[in-house]
Amino acid sequence: MKRVFGVKKDKEPPPSIEDASERINKRGESVDEKIKKLDVELNRYKEQIKKTRPGPAQEAVKARAMRVLKQKRMYEGQRDMLYNQTFNLDQVAFASEGIKDAQQTMSALKSANKELKGMMKTVRIQDIDNLQDEMMDMMDVSNEIQETLGRSYNVPDDIDEDELLGELDALEADMGFETEADGVPSYLQPDKESDLEGELNLPSAPTGQAAVPAGRTNAQVEDELGLPAVPRASLRG
């Protein structure tokens, strides 16, 4: 059967855009090399035309130069055509890559959407609102507890603030008056001891030796301290 109908050949895969672009670029490089060779040949003919005199020889060189110039124009046209094909392939490749990126983006979005739907089933807005309400209630209770613990003891509630402000103003005025008069407030000045001796009006202490009465002859002898002297006989005994 294989001899009669033959063997089915496997189809080759179509060339990709990258393969086609690479092949065209190689052809363009080959054409550029040919154009460079023709430029070198044209320069040589130009030098020959300058050196030769007008006549048949110069005309022959000009004919060769014209032939080379025509070939150069033809190759330049082919090169431009190849460059246009390369540009078109680049545009197609860019569009193809954009479509592939869009497909990947859509796949990623679908997967993320599926995951979000599964997550949203476990989260309800009502539960979040209830949780927020509970947190607010707990914060209010905490603030009340802090205010209760920070309350001062033995402080009457019926204190008149205007009366306190009046006393404070009077105290400041008193302090300012004392500062202007003495330079130092009275509550910062040292305490002065009262003159008790002047208040009691006591007599002053006697000074010198006491007078001896006229009828008394046996006056006692005093020592250097003003005390009665002790007899020496008593000291010996």
| Each residue's pLDDT tens digit, 151-206 | 766 656 666 677 778 888 888 777 766 555 555 555 555 555 555 555 555 556 55
> Is 106 a member of any domain?
yes
pLDDT of residue 102: 94
> Is 108 a member of any domain?
yes
> Is 23 a member of any domain?
yes
Task: List for the chain the helix, strand, coil content (%; round to 5).
Answer: 70, 0, 30
> Is 233 a member of any domain?
no
How sure is the predictor about 234, in pLDDT bands with cuts at 50, 70 and 90?
Answer: very low
Tell me which residue range forms the domain holding 54: 15-122
pLDDT of residue 7: 59
Pick 118 or 7 by higher pLDDT.
118
d(CA 52, CA 64): 14
How sure is the predictor about 106, in pLDDT bands with cuts at 50, 70 and 90?
Answer: very high
The DSSP symbol for 187 reads G
CA distances (Å), origin 77, targets 25, 31, 35, 74, 84: 15, 10, 11, 5, 11
pLDDT of residue 237: 45
Q: What is the mean pLDDT of residues 99-103?
A: 93
Q: With beta carbons less than 8 A apart as the criterion, state whether 17 and 79 touch.
A: no
> Is 59 a member of any domain?
yes
> Is 198 a member of any domain?
no
Pick 137 or 52 by higher pLDDT.
137
Pick 43 or 228 by higher pLDDT.
43
pLDDT of residue 192: 52
Backbone angles phi, psi at 157, to 5 degrees: -85, -20
Distance, CA of 180 to chain centre: 54
The mean predicted confidence, pLDDT, of the chain is 76
Q: What is the pTM of this model?
A: 0.41
pLDDT at 214 over 80: no
How sure is the predictor about 220, in pLDDT bands with cuts at 50, 70 and 90?
Answer: low
Cβ-based neighbour number of residue 38 at 10 Å: 19
pLDDT of residue 179: 56
Instruction: Please enumerate in sequence order all residues whose Cβ is within 8 A of that of 221, keeping only pairs 6 or more positions apart, or say none.
Output: 228, 229
pLDDT at 103 over 90: yes
Secondary structure of 26-92 as H, E, C letters: HHHHHHHHHHHHHHHHHHHHHHHHHHCCCCHHHHHHHHHHHHHHHHHHHHHHHHHHHHHHHHHHHHH
pLDDT at 111 over 70: yes
pLDDT of residue 217: 47
> Is 90 a member of any domain?
yes
pLDDT of residue 222: 67
Amino acid, res. 51:
K
d(CA 179, CA 189): 11
> Is 79 a member of any domain?
yes
The first and second tokens of residue 53, run together, are 């005199």
Say how many domains are in the chain.
1
